[in-house]
């Protein structure tokens, strides 16, 4: 492997570590975001170059592979259960176990989320913090719900309670993807499914009213990862500088 190959390895390493640093910083920034799931950077080895006997002194029949650095292979989302925090707010909902709430984006696209910090807008519809309508199978149109206190059962059934009288008005629609690994981040703590993936409508979810699911980011682990990534980046930067110095020496000798 020549010096330019070494430079390429250093460059790929620094790019990968920078991506990982950005990911860690994003996790730390969302450590208090309701329903946020921590992200991990996935790395992969780049092309493995076989070294020949002409390049190094190898015994007969011996082969030696030198990789060309590392690359980012994408981002994985850890869909682990977050802790439930009681708020006492009737429109705050948390999921215990599997499943996702559904909300409709401004373009009508169905988005999945674990963030159950909902509210009722001026028309009476249940919406998220961005104003996206929550997916509900309403037996009475939301704009015509009677006045009273919102009550949500663990299976998502919604009723309005007024003076001890309960009126069933619908049910929150909960979704379960075939594989959580196929979910793609759509921003604002929402996810979409890859083309062709099927969504199952859950019949028996476990919803907790008056609670919110906290972020799954572990700040201590994230800070440790950040320090380790910074040190690895610095080592790659020093190696890159040393390689550049070798280039300068070769140029001077060639003159």
* Residues 31/116/193/124 CA torsion (nearest 10 deg): -140
145 contact partners, CB below 8 Å, separation of at least 6:
124, 160, 169
* 216-255: pLDDT as tens digits: 999 999 999 899 888 887 887 777 777 767 767 776 776 6
Q: What is the pLDDT of residue 64?
A: 54
Helix axes 3-29, 219-254, angle to 10 degrees: 160
In the structure encoding, which two tokens stand for residue 46, read together? 């780049």
Residues of the chain with pLDDT under 50: 1, 58
90 contact partners, CB below 8 Å, separation of at least 6:
149, 150, 151, 152, 209, 210
* 81-110: pLDDT as tens digits: 999 999 999 999 999 999 999 999 999 999
3-state SS class at 147: coil
Short-list 194, 222, 229, 190, CA closest to 72? 229
DSSP state of 109: -
pTM, two decimal places: 0.77
3-state SS class at 137: strand
Please state the separation of Cα 128 from the chain's center in Å.
19
Instruction: Reduce the secondary structure of 157-198 to three states and give it as a string.
Output: EEEEEECCEEEEEEEECEEEECCHHHEEEEECCEEEECCCCC
Residue with tokens 């979704």: 175
């Amino acid at each position: 492997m020549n010096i330019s190959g070494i430079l390429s390895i250093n460059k790929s390493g620094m790019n990968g570590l920078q991506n990982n640093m950005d990911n860690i910083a994003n996790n730390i920034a969302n450590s208090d975001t309701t329903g946020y799931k921590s992200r991990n950077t996935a790395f992969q080895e780049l092309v493995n170059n076989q070294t020949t006997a002409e390049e190094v002194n190898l015994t007969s029949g011996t082969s030696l592979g030198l990789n060309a650095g590392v690359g980012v292979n994408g981002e994985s989302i850890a869909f682990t259960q977050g802790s439930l925090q009681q708020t006492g707010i009737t429109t705050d909902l948390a999921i215990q176990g599997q499943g996702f709430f559904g909300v409709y984006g401004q373009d009508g696209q169905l988005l999945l989320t674990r963030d159950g910090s909902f509210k009722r807008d001026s028309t009476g519809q249940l919406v998220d913090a961005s104003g996206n309508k929550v997916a509900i199978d309403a037996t009475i149109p939301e704009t015509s719900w009677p006045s009273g206190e919102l009550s949500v059962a663990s299976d998502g059934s919604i009723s309005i309670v007024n003076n001890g009288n309960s009126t069933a008005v619908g049910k929150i629609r909960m979704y379960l993807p075939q594989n959580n690994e196929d979910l793609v981040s759509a921003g604002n703590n929402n996810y979409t499914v890859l083309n062709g993936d099927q969504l199952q409508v859950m019949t028996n979810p476990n919803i907790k009213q008056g609670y919110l699911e906290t972020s799954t980011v572990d700040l201590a682990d994230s800070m440790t990862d950040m320090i380790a990534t910074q040190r690895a980046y610095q080592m790659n930067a020093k190696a890159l500088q040393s390689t550049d110095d070798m280039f300068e020496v070769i140029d001077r000798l060639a003159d």
